[in-house]
Amino acid sequence: MAPKFQGVDFYDVDSLLSEEERAVRDTVRAWVDDNLIPVIGEHYLEGHFPKQLVPQMAELGLFGANLPEAYGCAGLNNVAYGLIMQELERGDSGVRSFASVQGALAMYPIYAFGSDEQKRRWLPKMASGEVIGCFGLTEPDYGSNPAGMITMAKETKDGWVLNGAKMWITNGSTAQLAIVWAKTGTVDDVNSIRGFIVPTNTKGFSAKDQKGKLSLRASDTSELVLQDVCVSKDAVLPESGGLKSPLLCLTQARYGIAWGAVGAAMACYDEAVSYAKTRVMFGHPIGGFQLQQARLAEMLTEITKAQLLCVQLGRLKDQGKATPQQVSLAKRNNVSIATDVARETRRLLGANGILAEYQAMRHLANLESVYTYEGTHDIHTLILGQEITGLSAFN
Amino acid sequence: MKIAVCIKRVPDSETRVKIASDGKSLDEAGVKFILNPYDEFAVEEGLRLKEKAGTGEVVVIALGPAAAQETIRTALAMGADRGVLLQTQGLHPDGLETAKALAAELKGAGFDVILLGKMAIDDYNHQVGPMVAELLDLPCVTTVTHLEIVGGKGTAEREIEGGVEVVAFPLPAVLTTDKGLNEPRYPALKGIMAAKKKPLEVKPTAPGPGALEILSLTLPPERQAGKIVGEGPAAVAELVRLLREEAKVL
C-alpha cells in the first residue's frame, strides 16, 4: 500500500488551524488516499469522472460544506471548507472542480439568491448528492466578458422561456439541475441578468460532452443548449440581479480554487522530494545535486507562501472582510505557482515524469485549465490592476 | 446496549519518531498523534453494536495527557455518545496501572460490552484488555475478527495459527479487536462539528508508578542499501554465489 500523504508544512501552519479544522482536513486526506488516489490515474487516462465516489463524498459532507446545517450541510467555516478543497485537489483538480461546482456554483446561488422554498427544496438533496448541479454563465463567444452574454429569458404569462448556449460547463452532462444566467431585458442590459434553476430534463435543454480534452480528463465538461426551454415562474432566483450575482458565486469558487491549487502543488512537491531522494544517477541520489535542490527549495518556498495566503484569506472571509480582489490575488498567485511546481516536478522526474503512474504531469495538465477558468490569470491581473490604480483596463 | 470503548492516543505510524535526550522516551515535538488503529476497530464495532441494537450508548474512555481529548473527539466524531478522559501527567507506560485506572472507571457502570484494541501500536504490549477483564472478573476474548451478539450472549471468531477459533461467552464481557473485524468509518464533517457539543468529562488520575521501568529506547539499525550484481543471465552465477556464501540462504 502506498504511504499515506503526510502534508507539507514547513512553517507549522497547522498551529494556525483549530482542532476541528485539522480533523476535517485529516478526514478528507484519508478519504483521498484510500479512495481517490488508487483510481484517479485510470479514470484520467480513460477520460471518465469517477462518478462512483459521489455518494461517499456526500456521506462525508463535502458538498456545500460551508453552508448551514439547516439545509443538510456541514456548517463549516471557510478555512475548513478551503482545507477540503486543498485535499480534494491533492487528488485531482477534476474531482475538486466537481465539488466546487456543486457547492460554490450550484448550491451557493440557491442559498444566496433563492427563496426559502427553493432552498428547502434543493439544498438538502444537493448536499446528499442526490441532485447534482452545474453553473451556466460562460458562452461560446463570451468567456472573460460575461456581461456580453446573449442567452435570453423572456417572461410569459406562465413563466419564462430561455434561449441560448453555454460552454465549458463542468458537470453539465451529469447534472440534474443547471443554474443558468440569462438576460431578462434587452441584450445590452447587463443589469437584467438573472439566475434560473433549470431541471436538465426540461424539454429543449440539452448537454453535450466536450470531447478531446487534454486537461481535466477526469471531469465532465459540456456544452449546454437551451432551445425554447420553458420553466415556471418560480424558477427564477428572486434575489439575483445583474452581473454581480454570478460574480459573487465565482468569488466563492475562486476562494476554493486558491486552496485547491495548494493541494495540487503539495502532491507534486511530495512526489518530487521522494523521487529526488531515491532516484540514483552518477552514483548519487539526484536530490544531492544543486540543480534539483534549487527546484525543491523554490517549490517549498512558494507552497509555504501560498498556504499562509490561504489561511489569512479564510480568516478574513470568516470575519466577512475578504474582498473579491483579495480572492483574485490568491487564485492568481496560487494557481500560477502550483502550475510551476507541477512543471518543475515533471522535469525533475525525467522521463518518468510523463507517465500517468506519477502525478505531476496529470496535475500540470489539469492546472492549465484551472489557470484559465474562473477568471483567467490575466483577468485577475487586471482586477488587481484596477484595484491598485482605480483605472479599469477592461473598457 | 451499553458499550464502553477504551482508546489510546498514539504517535502516527507514518510519523518519523525521534528519541528524546533522556534516551528512554519519545521526543513529541512535531509528532502527529492519532487514535490507535486497533482502537478504531473497537470504536467502529461499538457503534455497529449500538446501531444494530437500535438503542444504547457508546462511551469512549482514554487514559492519557490533556491532549488525548482530541483523540476522544475523533471517536465522538465517528459517532460515540460521550467521552471520559482519565487525565494523567504525560504518558503512562505501565500496562497494569493503566488497566487498574480503566477498571476503576468501568466498574459498576453497567456496561454490557467493553471493547479495546488488541494492542497499542506504540508499545505493542497486548496487556491492557486482558488485565481489565481480570480486574473486573469478566470473561475476555482477545483478537476478535468477527462478532455476533444475540440476547445477552456473544459468539466471536479469532484468527489463530493456521485456522479460525470460534468461542461463545456470556455478557458482560471484555473483547479486544483485531484488523479484519470491520472497516472503520471516516469521521464525517457533520460528526466532527457535532463532536464539539458531546459531553467529555475530564477526571484527573494519578496511576501508581507500576513495576516496570523503561531503561532505554533505540531506533532500529538503518537498513543497508541493496546491491545490484549485474543484469541479465550473466549476473545469475554471481547472484547464486552471493546468496550461498554471503546471505547463506541457499
CA separation for the pair A343, A354 (Å, rounded): 11
Share of chain A above pLDDT 90, in %: 98
Cβ of A20 within 8 Å of Cβ of B70? The answer is: no
Residue A156 within any structural domain of the chain? yes
- What is the pairing mode between strands B26-27 and B33-35? unpaired
Please confirm, yes or no, whether A374 is among the known catalytic residues. Answer: yes
Residue A8 within any structural domain of the chain? no
Which DSSP string corresponds to A229-248? EEEEGGGB-TT--STHHHHH
What is the pLDDT at residue B228?
81
- Give residues with Cβ within 8 angstroms of A1, minimum separation 6: none
Q: Which residues of A touch B193 (CB under 8 A)?
A: 20, 69, 74-76
Cβ of A20 within 8 Å of Cβ of B192? The answer is: yes
Cβ of B188 within 8 Å of Cβ of A19? The answer is: no
Question: Greater confidence, B246 or A71?
Answer: A71
Q: Give me the mean pLDDT over the B75-97 stretch.
A: 91
The whole-model pTM stands at 0.91
Cβ of B73 within 8 Å of Cβ of A23? The answer is: yes
Shared domain for A369 and A303, answered yes or no, is yes
Residue A17 within any structural domain of the chain? yes
Residue A1 within any structural domain of the chain? no
Domain boundary among A184, A213, A235: A235
B196 at A interface, C-beta within 8 A: yes
Residue with cell 478531446: A212
CA separation for the pair A4, B202 (Å, rounded): 32
Shared domain for A181 and A262, answered yes or no, is no
Shared domain for A138 and A273, answered yes or no, is no
Q: Compute CA A336 distance to the chain's CA centroid, rounded to the nearest angstrom.
A: 15
- What CATH number should be reported for the domain holding residue B76? 3.40.50.620
Shared domain for A256 and A353, answered yes or no, is yes
Shared domain for A326 and A359, answered yes or no, is yes
Backbone angles phi, psi at A120, to 5 degrees: -65, -35
Shared domain for A254 and A343, answered yes or no, is yes
Q: Which residues of B touch A61 (CB under 8 A)?
A: 188-190
- What is the pairing mode between strands B2-7 and B57-64? parallel
Shared domain for A216 and A297, answered yes or no, is no
B103-162 pLDDT, tens digit each: 999 999 999 999 999 999 998 999 999 999 999 999 999 999 999 999 889 999 999 999
Number of compact structural domains in chain A: 3
Number of compact structural domains in chain B: 1
Shared domain for A96 and A153, answered yes or no, is no
Q: Which residues of B touch A3 (CB under 8 A)?
A: 14
B183-228 pLDDT, tens digit each: 999 999 999 999 999 999 999 999 988 888 889 999 888 887 777 8
CA separation for the pair A330, A258 (Å, rounded): 6
What is the pLDDT at residue A16?
98
A308-365 pLDDT, tens digit each: 999 999 999 999 999 999 999 999 999 999 999 999 999 999 999 999 999 999 999 9
Q: Domain range holding B84?
A: 2-204
A362-392 pLDDT, tens digit each: 999 999 999 999 999 999 999 999 999 999 9
Residue B158 within any structural domain of the chain? yes
Residue B249 within any structural domain of the chain? no
Cβ of B186 within 8 Å of Cβ of A27? The answer is: yes
Lowest mean pLDDT among A67-76, A270-279, B10-19: B10-19
Shared domain for A261 and A376, answered yes or no, is yes
What is the pLDDT at residue B17?
82
Cβ of B70 within 8 Å of Cβ of A59? The answer is: no
Residue B150 within any structural domain of the chain? yes
Shared domain for A18 and A50, answered yes or no, is yes
Q: How many CB pairs under 8 A join A and B?
A: 48
Interface-testing mutation among B15, B16, B183, B189, with chain A (most A C-beta atoms within 10 A) = B189
For A125, A181, A201, A224, the CA distances from A177, given in Å and listed in that order, are 11, 13, 8, 12
- Give residues with Cβ within 8 angstroms of A173, minimum separation 6: A207, A208, A209, A220, A222
Interface-testing mutation among B71, B183, B192, B227, with chain A (most A C-beta atoms within 10 A) = B192
Q: Which residues of B touch A6 (CB under 8 A)?
A: 14-15, 32
The nearest CA of chain B is from the CA of A297 a distance in Å of: 21
CB B16 within 8 A of CB B44: no
Q: Give me the mean pLDDT over the B50-57 stretch.
A: 95
SS3 B36: coil
Closest by CA to A256, choosing from A179, A215, A217, A314, is: A314
Give the pLDDT band (50/70/90) at residue A1. very low
What is the pLDDT at residue B209?
85
Lowest mean pLDDT among A17-21, A104-108, B13-17: B13-17
CB B135 within 8 A of CB B116: no
A69 at B interface, C-beta within 8 A: yes
Q: Give me the mean pLDDT over the B34-50 stretch.
A: 97
Cβ of B186 within 8 Å of Cβ of A60? The answer is: yes
Q: Chain B window 175-194: which residues touch A at a Cβ cutoff of 8 Å? A: 186-190, 192-193
Interface-testing mutation among A1, A12, A13, A19, with chain B (most B C-beta atoms within 10 A) = A19
Residue A38 within any structural domain of the chain? yes
Share of chain B above pLDDT 90, in %: 72
Closest by CA to A373, choosing from A85, A78, A94, is: A94
- What CATH number should be reported for the domain holding residue A71? 1.10.540.10
Residue B210 within any structural domain of the chain? no
Give the pLDDT band (50/70/90) at residue A189. very high
Shared domain for A109 and A213, answered yes or no, is no
Q: How many residues are listed for chain B in this entry? A: 250
Domain boundary among A235, A262, A291: A235
Q: Which residues of A touch B195 (CB under 8 A)?
A: 23
B70 at A interface, C-beta within 8 A: yes
Q: Which residue of A lies nearest to B183 if distances are taken between CA atoms?
A: A34
Q: Which residues of A touch B188 (CB under 8 A)?
A: 27, 59-61, 74
What is the pLDDT at residue B232?
86
Residue A335 within any structural domain of the chain? yes
Q: Give me the mean pLDDT over the A145-154 stretch.
A: 96
The nearest CA of chain A is from the CA of B186 a distance in Å of: 6
Q: Is the pLDDT of residue B86 over 70?
A: yes
What is the pLDDT at residue B234?
84
Q: Domain range holding A363?
A: 244-389
SS3 A161: strand
Cβ of A23 within 8 Å of Cβ of B190? The answer is: no
**Residue A286 amino acid letter:** I
Share of chain B above pLDDT 70, in %: 100
Domain boundary among A235, A267, A293: A235
Q: Is the pLDDT of residue B92 over 80?
A: no
CB A118 within 8 A of CB A110: yes
**A3 closest CB neighbour out of B14, B73, B187:** B14
What is the pLDDT at residue A2?
57
Residue B70 within any structural domain of the chain? yes
B79 at A interface, C-beta within 8 A: no
Shared domain for A18 and A86, answered yes or no, is yes
CA separation for the pair B164, B158 (Å, rounded): 6
Residue A395 within any structural domain of the chain? no
Give the pLDDT band (50/70/90) at residue B13. confident
Q: Which residues of B touch A60 (CB under 8 A)?
A: 186, 188-189
SS3 A356: coil
Q: Which residues of A touch B190 (CB under 8 A)?
A: 61, 69, 74-75
- What is the pairing mode between strands B2-7 and B113-117? parallel
Mean residue pLDDT across chain B: 93
What is the pLDDT at residue B33?
92
Question: Greater confidence, B234 or A25?
Answer: A25
Cβ of A27 within 8 Å of Cβ of B73? The answer is: no
